Amino acid sequence: MTQKIALVTGASRGLGAAIALELAARGWHVVAVARTVGGLEDLDDRLRALALPGAGGLTLAPMDVTHDDAMRHLCRSIHDRWGRLDLWVHPAVHVAPLAPAGSLDQKDWEKSIATNVRATGMLIPMVEPLLRASATGTALFLDDARAGQPFFGAYGASKAAQIALARSWQAETQRIGPRVRIATPAPMPTATRGRFFPGEDRGPLAEPATEAARILAGL
């Protein structure tokens, strides 16, 4: 059986890392993209520590999704090596600090747009041909529905724009592929949520590994 190939953009921490690890544990080969080398190396260490028979592998790709040429080179390398992608998971996101809309930091605003919106719009045309080359090519986006909430202006607006783009792609490709899926994760004790709710009781929150398994089962 041909090994399944996945691209996870934003794989060094939180749900992205959990999804990458879950896929690799199931025998997939995962191309793991993130800006932090240490986070990717930790992901690789975690997979090796599992020592699972039949586990897949990781290709660590320390790069920034906002760098167009790097992303083009990566997609070309995936094409040259495997000729396709069976799954693209895109949890990469810039999390701007909470602030009133009238006090947005312009650098954070611009970085939110660059990472959450522009990079997504650049990646879809690069990744789509790779997904179409697979009989089961699927793209997965993650929506946490923060749009319009107080103090979530930069994050909520840019994330909502990303999901709107994904929904348009989903409608356009419903008959011709690739499949586009949008999942809403349960609240998890991630670093991102910790920035939003620093004093929150984390006991009731879902573990990223549990959410990763649940979301992938839905695919």
Distance between CA atoms of residues 168 and 172, nearest Å: 6
Can you tell me whether residue 190 is helix, strand or coil?
coil
- Pairing of the two strands 138-142 and 29-34: unpaired
Is 192 a known active-site residue? no
Distances (CA, A) of 35 to 9, 63, 98, 141: 10, 5, 22, 19
User: Which uninterrupted H or E stretch holds 6?
Assistant: strand 5-9
Neighbours of 164 (CB within 10 A): 12
- ω into 178 cis (within 30 of 0): yes
The residue annotated as part of the active site, out of 155, 160, 185, 188, is 155
- Show the tokens assigned to 12: 């060094």
Say which residues have a Cβ less than 8 Å from residue 59's Cβ, sequence separation at least 6: 29, 30, 31, 32
Distances (CA, A) of 211 to 20, 68, 126, 205, 218: 12, 30, 28, 10, 11
Distance between CA atoms of residues 168 and 162, nearest Å: 10
Give the residue numbers annotated as catalytic, written as ranges: 155
